[in-house]
Amino acid sequence: MSKKQIPTKPKVATISNDYSLKKLKISLGIIIGVFAFILYAQSIPYDYTQDDHFVTDKNDLIKTGLGGIPTLLATDYLFGYDNGALRGPVYRPSSLIMFDLEWKFFGNNPHAFHFMNVLLFAFTCWLLFMVLCELFKNQNLLFPFVCTILYSLHPIHSEVVDNIKSRDEILCFLFGILSIYFAVKSISNKFYLYLFLSAICFFISTISKETGITFLIIIPLTVFVFTEASIRKLVIISLAVLIISGSYYVIREHVLKSISLNTSETYLFDSVVAAPNFISREATVFYILLRYFLLLLFPINLTCDYNFSMIKVQTLSDLPAIAGILINFGIGIYAVLNIRKKSIISYGILFYFITLSPVSNMFIYNGATMAERFMYTPSLGFCIAIAFLIIKFTNAKSVSNKYRNLSNFFSGNSTLFIILFVISGLYSARTISRNMDWKSNHTIYSHDVKVSDNSAVAHFAWGKELSMNLATNEKDSTLKKYYDSCAIIEFNKVLKILDTLSFQGLHNDIGTALADIGKYDEAINCYLKEIKLNPTFTTAYSNLAQCYNLKKDYENEIYTYQFLIGINKASDTSYLNNIGASYYNWGLQFNANEQYEKAITAFDSAIKYTPNSSNSYNSKGAALLHLGKNEEALNVCKVAIQLDSNNVKAFINVGCAYSNLQQYQLAIQYLNKAATMENADANPYYFLGITYQNMGDVLKAKQYFEKANRMNGGAQK
């Protein structure tokens, strides 16, 4: 009888224990997910910041609904932004498809996008806990819990969660750890099914962000460390992820085959590229790695800007570079030597280095010196190593799985949880304060410019925010002047930082920002400095000419365009048209027929190179009208209409020519046609008023003048 009862008691106890353990795991997972959500919930009411607009309200493909998804899959990341004006060799359709779906349901609502970022992050933290529980299923729940808490609360992740555009980082990591989970599960159950799911998740990770390719190494490494997989299964898993990697590469190359990297600003944003030689470049890389390590340990001075001015180019004699080399080589060698023993801390170190490698600038240039968002995935390796050390230090690793409820779990490891509570409190407080900086461009730039005080880009970004948004939208004239003056101070700081540098583009950008707030003389000085540094940078010449135009300095505008044509070694139609327009405006300014004649010569040159340009013919016709050559103007402007039947200005000029020739009915016919066009303004009504006035119909003339006046906002034309 007793022999029959012996096996029944352990069986019942095992079921009870398994149920309690599962319940405890679920409870801990919920705690982690809720904590992660609450920590970042304050960002839900925030606005778009930085480059969020590139992938939301300024991206035409995102706003097309489900019909835009095939194009998103077949084009580069910024194809839908600003009519394709800003392109780059970046292929990340996953986050764009999510934004597309969210736009369909919520429209232009940054709060919905922020909510989804927070929700996805909370889900990722919950999932990370479950994945770690699977990896450490033969041990207690302490390690998965401590590691995930450290990860979910670390302040360095605030840039990713608070910045809508960084959804690509969230999805890349989310599907990366999912691929790990299924790969590990495949070893003990339904090998090919779970391997297939792992491969699918790995592929989605890669098309979320390029750094997902590192899971090509991470997946087999994880299977090796945390399972007893046979060599055969390890080889099959490695081949599977290798095939997926190859497929991703082929697709990416096909989509991006016509896209090249724009390197005009690379030196400004990447200290590694700016290094004078290979030794200096690698020394700078190790200094950056040291900065990452220090940020993970002490996430205090966080900023959205790390560029050339923030990260100084290093040499092998610089102490920071030496420290970076010694620390990173030291822990790297330790990890390599001990990974064969399936050391947890070695795994954490290798996870950190492998996932960091694509953005470290050590092997390839990624276009940025360093960024906190680059730590979103590698920081897991850091958290694994730190969790291991904390548990070892408190001797908590000896605790078995006997704790089956939350009370026993926390009370049974009091020393460990006191340490964890202190770290979590500090992390949470810093994360909450950092979240507040990401509320808007105003808050993020005004804060980070203090942290990155020696950064030209940080001062430039804050200056633009002051001039383009705060000053432009301010109704109080005193405050408006204050914001403008503050913007100029910031731009002057940029110029001071760049006094000895020759980076292409930034002086030009500062000039444009100054021109936008009406500081034309300061803008011209910036453009001239840009041209001095980069004599063939045509954009600076074009902007300089436009600035002269805004100042009504037509002589210098014409000279600039003529010089620009000489640089290009060929006549550019747009430049010739602009020269003609400058002579035309010069003629209007001084009522000088000589300038109208020169304008006609310029427009004739433009027509010679582009004979089908409706605008060139019409502009020539306008100059002829001012010279009183109405018959010639009539013929030229009719050619403009033949080339473009929607050229409103050409219809107006034909109407004016007929009016001057006293053929009033034809004049009225053409002017009425111009008035009905979609892009018409007040001018057709104004000239109709003149025509009726010349005809002696004062009443109708008055009606049309009043209508033109109303369309001009009450200001008489």
Residues 533-566: pLDDT tens digits? 778 888 888 889 889 888 888 888 888 888 888 7
Q: Is the dihedral of CA 79, 84, 86, 89 positive or negative?
A: positive
Q: Is 708 a member of any domain?
A: yes
User: What pLDDT score does 611 carry?
Assistant: 86
Instruction: Print the SS3 string covering 183-223.
Output: HHHHHHCCHHHHHHHHHHHHHHHHHHCHHHHHHHHHHHHHH
Amino acid type, 545:
A
Give the mean pLDDT of 611-636. Answer: 89
Q: Is the pLDDT of residue 13 over 50?
A: no
Percentage above 90 pLDDT, the chain? 45
pLDDT band at 572 (very low <50, low <70, confident <90, very high): low
Q: DSSP labels for 312-330?
A: ----TTSHHHHHHHHHHHH
Q: Is 327 a member of any domain?
A: no
Q: Is 540 a member of any domain?
A: no
Q: Is the pLDDT of residue 260 over 80?
A: no
Percentage above 70 pLDDT, the chain? 91
Quote the domain boundaries for residue 626.
Answer: 615-717
Give CA–CA dist 315/322, Å, rounded: 9
Residues 217-258: pLDDT tens digits? 999 999 999 999 999 999 999 999 999 999 999 999 999 887
Strands, E assignment, 232-291: none
User: What pLDDT score does 2 carry?
Assistant: 44
Mean pLDDT of the chain: 86
Q: Answer yes or no: are the C-beta atoms of 80 and 68 closer than 8 Å.
A: yes
Give CA–CA dist 361/289, Å, rounded: 10
Q: Going by C-beta distance under 8 Å and a sequence separation of 6 or more, which residues neighbour residue 640?
A: 614, 615, 617, 618, 621, 647, 650, 653
Higher pLDDT, 261 or 408: 408
Q: Is the pLDDT of residue 398 over 60?
A: no
Residues 18-43: pLDDT tens digits? 667 788 888 899 999 999 999 999 99
Higher pLDDT, 399 or 712: 712
Q: Is the pLDDT of residue 714 over 70?
A: no
User: What pLDDT score does 286 carry?
Assistant: 94
User: What pLDDT score does 716 carry?
Assistant: 44
pLDDT band at 612 (very low <50, low <70, confident <90, very high): confident
Q: Is the pLDDT of residue 265 over 90?
A: no
Report the range of poorest mean pLDDT among 244-248, 283-287, 476-480.
476-480
pLDDT band at 118 (very low <50, low <70, confident <90, very high): very high
Q: Is the pLDDT of residue 717 over 60?
A: no
Q: Is 665 a member of any domain?
A: yes
Q: Is 671 a member of any domain?
A: yes
Report the range of poorest mean pLDDT among 46-50, 51-55, 680-684.
680-684
Give the mean pLDDT of 132-159. Answer: 91
Give the mean pLDDT of 151-173. Answer: 96
Q: Is 103 a member of any domain?
A: no
Q: Is the pLDDT of residue 643 over 80?
A: yes
Q: DSSP labels for 562-579?
A: HHHHHHHTS--HHHHHHH
Q: Answer yes or no: are the C-beta atoms of 581 and 615 closer than 8 Å.
A: no
Higher pLDDT, 167 or 464: 167
Q: Is 502 a member of any domain?
A: no
User: What pLDDT score does 515 carry?
Assistant: 81
User: What pLDDT score does 274 carry?
Assistant: 72
DSSP state, residue 146:
H
Q: Structural domain tally of the chain?
A: 1
User: What pLDDT score does 503 carry?
Assistant: 58
Q: Is the pLDDT of residue 571 over 60?
A: no
Q: Is the pLDDT of residue 10 over 50?
A: no
Residues 647-664: pLDDT tens digits? 989 999 999 999 999 999
Structure token pair of residue 533: 């540094």
Report the range of poorest mean pLDDT among 243-257, 292-306, 600-614.
600-614
User: What pLDDT score does 453 carry?
Assistant: 85
Q: Residue 368 region, left (φ>0) first, then alpha (ψ -120 to 50), else beta?
A: beta
Q: Is 288 a member of any domain?
A: no
Structure token pair of residue 106: 């919520």
CA distance to 75, 86, 89, 258, per residue, from 261 (Å): 15, 11, 6, 10
Give CA–CA dist 428/37, Å, rounded: 12
Q: Is the pLDDT of residue 14 over 60?
A: no
Residues 327-374: pLDDT tens digits? 999 999 999 999 999 999 999 999 999 999 999 888 777 777 889 999
Q: Which among 278, 274, 262, 181 is positioned nearest to 223, based on CA atoms? A: 181
Residues 266-281: pLDDT tens digits? 455 567 777 778 898 8
pLDDT band at 397 (very low <50, low <70, confident <90, very high): low
pTM value? 0.77
Residues 185-201: pLDDT tens digits? 999 889 999 999 999 99
CATH of the domain at 657: 1.25.40.10
Q: Answer yes or no: are the C-beta atoms of 162 and 46 closer than 8 Å.
A: yes
